[in-house]
């Protein structure tokens, strides 16, 4: 594959991820859309499509970081680079990139299964009350309370993954079918 094809493919992937990351800002204006964001799908998308695995992790995590900084500023009027629990958030999304890298054939079923796995990872890790916060007791019962209280947010994450997954994965697959420069060398050989 020529370097022009690699660059064009990577540029398109990066632009799609950045555009999707910017859509997180919609939840600031419309609070009922809390967690109805593309971040889970961004991680899966990067893992599935970047040939260089370091790019698969770097690009989605940087998009998440940039959108976090902007959202934190919108909510607090202060530039905050990291917040309580940020490390755990980035661990969750790094795991989602790994899950995305396991997608061998992109179709509705594989992306939906990967998305559900990513949401499950997010739900089980981010709602551990002993990691941060004092809203729930730092016990197994408190963990159960936290998990139950998080169901509406995780439901929104599943719905967000469905919508944004269709746009990102479906959009890129459509673009690949029309523009050979977006296909990998292996895909061109088929």
Q: What are phi and psi of 37, to 5 degrees?
A: -130, 170
For residue 178, give every residue at least 6 positions away whose Cβ sits within 8 Å of its Cβ, in sequence order, or none. Answer: none
Measuring CA to CA, how many Å separate 104 from each of 2, 29, 133, 157? 23, 37, 38, 23
Contact call for residues 24 and 38 (beta carbons, < 8 A):
yes
Whether pTM exceeds 0.75: yes
pLDDT given at position 3: 52
Is residue 55 within 8 Å of residue 69, measured between CB atoms? Answer: no
Question: What digits encode the pLDDT tens for the residues 149-171?
Answer: 999 989 999 999 999 999 999 99
Read out DSSP for 42-80? HHHHHHHH-SSHHHHHHHHHHHHHHHHHHHHHHHHSS--
Alpha-carbon distances, residue 177 vs 26, 84, 112, 182, 184 (angstroms): 30, 43, 21, 9, 12
Which pLDDT belongs to residue 113? Answer: 97
Decide: 13 and 154 in contact? Cβ < 8 Å: no
pLDDT, tens digit, for every residue of 118-138? 999 999 999 888 777 678 888
Q: What is the pLDDT of residues 58-101, one digit of tens each?
A: 999 999 999 999 988 988 889 988 887 888 999 999 999 999 99
SS3 125: helix
How far apart CA 186 and CA 144 sit, in angstroms, is 46
pLDDT digits (tens, 9 = 90+) for 44-70: 999 999 999 999 999 999 999 999 999
Sole residue written with tokens 């007791």: 137
* Domain boundaries of the chain, sorted by first residue: 3-185
pLDDT surpassing 80 at residue 190: no
Name 61's Cβ contacts closer than 8 Å, sequence gap at least 6: 43, 90, 93, 94, 97
């Amino acid at each position: 594959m020529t370097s022009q094809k690699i660059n064009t493919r990577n540029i398109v992937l990066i632009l799609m991820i950045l555009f999707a990351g910017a859509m997180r800002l919609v939840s600031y204006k419309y609070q009922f859309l809390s967690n109805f964001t593309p971040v889970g799908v961004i991680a899966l998308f990067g893992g599935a499509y970047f040939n260089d695995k370091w790019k698969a992790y770097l690009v989605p995590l940087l998009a998440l970081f940039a959108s976090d900084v902007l959202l934190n500023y919108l909510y607090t009027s202060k530039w905050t680079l990291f917040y309580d629990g940020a490390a755990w958030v980035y661990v969750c999304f790094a795991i989602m990139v790994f899950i995305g890298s396991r997608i061998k054939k992109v179709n509705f079923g594989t992306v939906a299964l990967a998305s559900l796995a990513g949401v499950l990872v997010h739900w089980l890790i981010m709602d551990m009350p002993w990691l941060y916060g004092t809203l729930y007791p730092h016990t197994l019962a408190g963990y159960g309370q936290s998990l139950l209280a998080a169901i509406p947010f995780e439901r929104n994450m599943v719905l967000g993954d469905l919508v944004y997954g269709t746009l990102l994965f479906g959009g890129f697959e459509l673009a690949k079918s029309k523009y050979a420069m977006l296909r990998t060398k292996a895909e061109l050989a088929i």
